Amino acid sequence: MQPLRINVDIVMERVPLTNRWATEYWRPFAVVPAPADGPRGMSLPPVADGSGTRWCYAGHEVELHPTEAEGYFLNLTSPVPSVFVMWRLDDDATPPAQPVLATVSYNQAGRLLDGGERVDRVAMPAEILERMRPFVAEHYKPEPKRKVRRNDPFAEGAFVRDHRDKPRDP
């Protein structure tokens, strides 16, 4: 089955710091739905305001795969649904913060973090949320509950040991 693809633009923000060890802080600022035939790469010139400078990267996709439906369900049922942005600092690029991937799966974001990648969350736009709901409703099937059999400490013979076969120490 083909994954559901949602075109997005990722906005990265540079926040200046007054700090002895660092002069700036980078973070994803927003993920915005984009038209399917939109531009690729950095689409807008930087926009500066009092809090920092923002760059918009066009041409990214959020892919929804049926096998990741549990991660999407966890995201939809969380108090604040989010888009997770994996990004890297590249000193040779201008600007150095480069988004690599956007996902809406809690599980995939966790795997990326476990792999040592930098992943930050931003609020999920309503358009992405509305496209996710029918996908999750169709593909998410909760694991069936299984009855767990535990050792019964009060069962007959549970604590009885047979010491007749062991040699005794003198």
pLDDT band at residue 100, thresholds of 50, 70 and 90? very high
What domain range is 117 assigned to?
4-139
Number of domains in the chain: 1
Task: Return the number of other C-beta atoms located less than 10 Å from residue 32's C-beta.
Answer: 17
Q: Is the pLDDT confidence value at 105 over 70?
A: yes
- Inside any domain, residue 91: yes
**pLDDT by residue (tens digit) across 127-148?**
999 999 999 999 999 888 887 6
- Inside any domain, residue 170: no
- Inside any domain, residue 87: yes
- Inside any domain, residue 146: no
pLDDT of residue 127: 95
**Rounded CA separation 157/153 (Å):** 9
- Inside any domain, residue 122: yes
pLDDT of residue 95: 84
- Inside any domain, residue 12: yes
**pLDDT by residue (tens digit) across 18-33?**
889 988 889 999 999 9
**Rounded CA separation 148/100 (Å):** 42
Q: Is the pLDDT confidence value at 102 over 90?
A: yes
- Inside any domain, residue 148: no
- Inside any domain, residue 164: no
